[in-house]
Amino acid sequence: MTQYKGTEPENIAYTAVATLEGGRNGHGSSSEPDMDLTFDTPVAQGGKGRGTNPEQLFALGWGACFQSALGLAAKELRVAATKLATGKLRSSISVGDQGESFGLKAKMEVLLPDVDKETAEKLVQRTQELCPYSKATAGNVPTEILVVDSLD
């Protein structure tokens, strides 16, 4: 069995545990709190699209983590939390052919209407360094992170 031997967190605060069966066309559950999902391959990949897919979960998880880490970056860079209150983020995870298997591509669009562009870009850069998902994917998943004026 292969195990990555990277640097572990000093203290584990929480461990999410999920039980899955059937892969992309199966079922998954987790607890604390209870979550129960049916998985289905997206229509664009030949599925029926009647359930959640791993890319949706990854986009939601990474996006939520990134937006929370943005608060840490703001505190560090002395940007008032109130300036982040109107902020939004769109997280996109794409999957496609890569050699004999599949690969991922990510895009984060960060909207911070109450923060000037230069400061927003500094915040996003620092957030990329703080977010656990961003650190986990660094060098592994092509990622584009943009400060945008609109999510339309």
- With H, G, I as helix, E, B as strand and everything else as coil, classify residue 44: helix
Q: Do 37 and 107 sit in the same domain of this protein?
A: no
CB-count exposure of residue 127 (10 Å: 0-12, 13-18, 19+): buried
Give the per-residue pLDDT at 8: 84
Give the per-residue pLDDT at 50: 93
- Beta strands 101-111 and 27-30: pairing type? unpaired
Residue 41: which domain range? Answer: 11-52
> Which contiguous run of DSSP H or E holds residue 128?
helix 117-130
Give the per-residue pLDDT at 135: 94
**pLDDT by residue (tens digit) across 123-134?**
999 999 999 999
Q: Do 35 and 77 sit in the same domain of this protein?
A: no
Number of domains in the chain: 2
Give the per-residue pLDDT at 81: 93
Whether pTM exceeds 0.85: yes
User: Which amino acid is it at 151?
Assistant: L
- Beta strands 143-148 and 101-111: pairing type? parallel
Q: Do 20 and 33 sit in the same domain of this protein?
A: yes
- CA within 13 Å, CB half, 108: 29
**Any domain includes 128:** yes
Q: Do 34 and 99 sit in the same domain of this protein?
A: no
The domain that contains 62 carries what CATH number?
3.30.300.20
Q: Do 121 and 65 sit in the same domain of this protein?
A: yes
121: Cβ contacts below 8 Å, ≥ 6 apart: 147
**pLDDT by residue (tens digit) across 43-102?**
999 999 999 999 999 999 999 999 999 999 999 999 999 999 999 999 999 999 999 999
Q: Do 66 and 137 sit in the same domain of this protein?
A: yes
Give the per-residue pLDDT at 6: 74
77: Cβ contacts below 8 Å, ≥ 6 apart: 119, 122, 123, 126
Give the per-residue pLDDT at 17: 94
Q: Do 27 and 59 sit in the same domain of this protein?
A: no
Q: Do 34 and 60 sit in the same domain of this protein?
A: no
Average pLDDT, the chain: 94
**Any domain includes 6:** no
**Any domain includes 113:** yes
Give the per-residue pLDDT at 7: 80
